[in-house]
Amino acid sequence: MKRINYNHYIRKAHRYLGLCIGIQFLFWTIGGLYFSWTKIELIRSEDVRTSPAPIRIPDNFLTGSLSPAEHLPPGVSVDFSKLRIVSVLGEPHYLLPFETGPHHMDAILVRLSDGFKRPPAGESEARVIAKRALKIDLPIEKVELIPHHGTSKHHEYRNRLLPAYAVTFGGLQSYTVYVSTLDWQVQTVRSNSWRVFDFLWMLHTMDFEGRDDFNNYLLRAFSIFGIVTIMSGFVLFFVSSPIARRYIRARR
């Protein structure tokens, strides 16, 4: 009877498993190196963002006529625990966000000093707010309005208030400041460092749709393949060692 060569099959299985999982292991390693060697403050652009100034409250801010509730559309229920005071161009305002439909947000912005309800921010206001958000002086290259449902799951501005203005500055990092038209606030700042991080994070999580799902089936499958590949390497080392071969021959 022909003896089965287990070493051949173990080597073959290990070779193909290594080919299948090796590229993803390389992506994980490159991503891990970038994550560990790049400061998170640089990725979040905290090194170039201005610190928020203290909000000075006027004496009449408790006046009932200044309440944003009177500006609510009829039939809309809101969560007043989300009511907060924000600064808009150096002036304190009430901000009350609310939902008008599935995945559709709106907000009421009322100036504390006189009860004036702010309309949605325009491009000129977005330029001023974006300029004030950075402590470095850079020229504005372009301004783009992102409408409702104007971003995909891959967009760098995702899961945040829309519409919004994307104000992009020149320079090596190509900073983009996103200003919501609803609340006149800077939602986030993106840079080339963040974009590299986001791409490597997508490869790390293997969530090629939304980038943030750690429980996707592809990642689970490759994790299992990785363990099997490592175990096959241990088995291959054992059956290939002279001591193991002598032990197996002695047993036979």
Do residues 204 and 181 both lie within one domain? no
Is the pTM higher than 0.75? The answer reads yes
Q: Which amino acid is at 236?
A: L
Range of the domain at 104: 46-190
3-state secondary structure 152-221: CCCCCCCCCCCCEEEEEECCCCCCEEEEECCCCCEEEEECHHHHHHHHHHHHHHCCCCCCCCCCCHHHHH
The residue among 171, 166, 130 whose CA lies nearest residue 147 is 166
- Do 89 and 205 belong to one domain? no
- Both 120 and 173 in one domain: the answer is yes
Q: Is 126 within the bounds of a domain?
A: yes
Residue 1: inside a domain: no
- For residues 64 and 183, membership in a common domain is answered with yes
Same domain, 35 and 57: no
If one counts the domains in the chain, the total is 2
pLDDT of residue 1: 40
3-state secondary structure of 149: coil
Residues constituting the chain? 252
Q: Is the residue at 79 inside a domain?
A: yes
Burial classification of residue 62, based on how many CB atoms lie within 10 Å of its CB (0-12 exposed, 13-18 middle, 19 or more buried): exposed
Establish if 34 belongs to a structural domain.
yes
Tens digits of pLDDT across the chain (252 residues): 444 556 666 666 667 777 777 788 888 889 999 999 999 999 999 999 998 888 887 666 655 555 666 777 776 777 777 888 899 988 898 888 887 766 677 888 988 888 888 999 999 999 999 999 999 999 999 999 998 877 777 788 888 888 999 999 998 999 999 999 999 999 999 999 999 999 999 988 888 777 777 788 888 888 887 787 777 777 777 766 676 666 666 666
